[in-house]
Amino acid sequence: MSVHAAVDGPNGLGGSSRPVTIHDLRAAKQRGERFAMITAYDANAAALLDELGVPVLLVGDSLGMVVLGYDTTVPVTLDEMIHHTRAVARGARRALVVGDLPFGTYQDGPSQALASATRMLKEGGAGAVKLEGGGPMVEVTAHLVRAGIPVMGHLGLTPQSVHQFGGFKVQGRDDAAADRIVADAQALAEAGAFTIVIEGVPAELGRRATEAVAVPTIGIGAGGHTDAQVLVWHDLLGLTSGRLPRFVKAYADLRSEISGAVKAFVSEVADGEYPGPEHVY
């Protein structure tokens, strides 16, 4: 069995060597096939994830928090996003690379969004962009789609609105807020969004939003009923320090692995054990 088959099944998103398209993702939902999206920020990780058959790589603006050391995603710039998206695009052969539009680069309306998204595709090499929010972002999405740019929506706990939310808080807890998120999901799908990330909402709302749209929903902290799931690379691998949100499952403890390796190197250098005869020209 190939690695691709092990990840996604023989005939599914991981079963072919041609590049993954937005149409493949929609077809996966129609087949009832769930898939994973993982964030990536550099060429090395992108090449590995691609080789493993992960169909969608998101160059998230979480870049700001997990790579660049910001407290929120708000300070991330379009140049920073393009720099890392280009690296991921260089590493990926078949995965669909989605570049996040950072805060302040699309909220002004359709023409600002089109200029930013165009840079993300032309300079970053992305195959699609992601943007946060419903309401006025529905028209922005429709404008980009009309221009031929695939758009991934993002609803619920949209991190670029952290200051408005008063922290990274679960959204859609009351009926009115939940109904608004479902209506936004429908409006984004009608505007042409090819997938919608649903973040930080009760599981029941994740289910409602998923059932309300024909395009795949990609959940993060939105329960088990969404069509796909996304995790941040650093969280998935146990590289993040401090308290993790409840929805995170670390599938490895790379922080400990790395600590062990670094300590061994430092100590072998101090003891003169490294380099050994086998490492010397």
Among all residues, which ones are annotated catalytic?
199
Alpha helices (H) along 123-174 = 137-146, 162-165
Shortest distance, position 212 Cβ to ligand KIV, whole Å: 19
Among 8, 24, 61, 227, binds ligand KIV (CB under 6 A): 61
Distant-in-sequence, close-in-space partners of 249: CB < 8 Å, separation ≥ 6? 231, 236
d(CA 275, CA 263): 15
Check: CB of residue 17 under 8 Å from CB of residue 35: no
User: Given the structure tokens 């996040």, which residue do they identify?
Assistant: 100
d(CA 19, CA 21): 6
Q: What is the 3-state secondary structure (H, E, C) of 223-262?
A: CCCCCEEEECHHHHCCCCCCCCCCCCCCCCCHHHHHHHHH
Stretch that binds ligand KIV, among 44-52, 60-68, 85-93, 182-190 (CB under 6 A): 60-68
Task: Provide the 3-class DSSP secondary structure of residue 97.
Answer: strand
Does 235 interact with ligand KIV (rule: CB under 6 A)? Answer: no
Omega before 275 within 30 of 0, i.e. cis: yes
Shortest distance, position 69 Cβ to ligand KIV, whole Å: 15
Residues 240-279 that bind ligand KIV (CB under 6 A): none
d(CA 131, CA 151): 7
Shortest distance, position 220 Cβ to ligand KIV, whole Å: 5
Closest to ligand KIV by CB, 45 or 220: 220
Closest CA to 33 of 52, 8, 10: 8
Among 12, 53, 55, 60, binds ligand KIV (CB under 6 A): 60
| Length of the chain counted residue by residue | 281
Residues 93-112 that bind ligand KIV (CB under 6 A): 100
Closest to ligand KIV by CB, 4 or 197: 197
Among 138, 197, 215, 222, binds ligand KIV (CB under 6 A): 197
Residues 118-177 that bind ligand KIV (CB under 6 A): none
Closest to ligand KIV by CB, 70 or 118: 70
Among 12, 20, 62, 120, binds ligand KIV (CB under 6 A): 62
Does 230 interact with ligand KIV (rule: CB under 6 A)? Answer: yes
Among 7, 25, 39, 144, binds ligand KIV (CB under 6 A): 39
Closest to ligand KIV by CB, 103 or 178: 103
d(CA 4, CA 114): 35
Does 227 interact with ligand KIV (rule: CB under 6 A)? Answer: no
Q: Which residues bind ligand KIV (CB under 6 A)?
A: 39, 58, 60-62, 100, 197, 199, 220, 230, 232
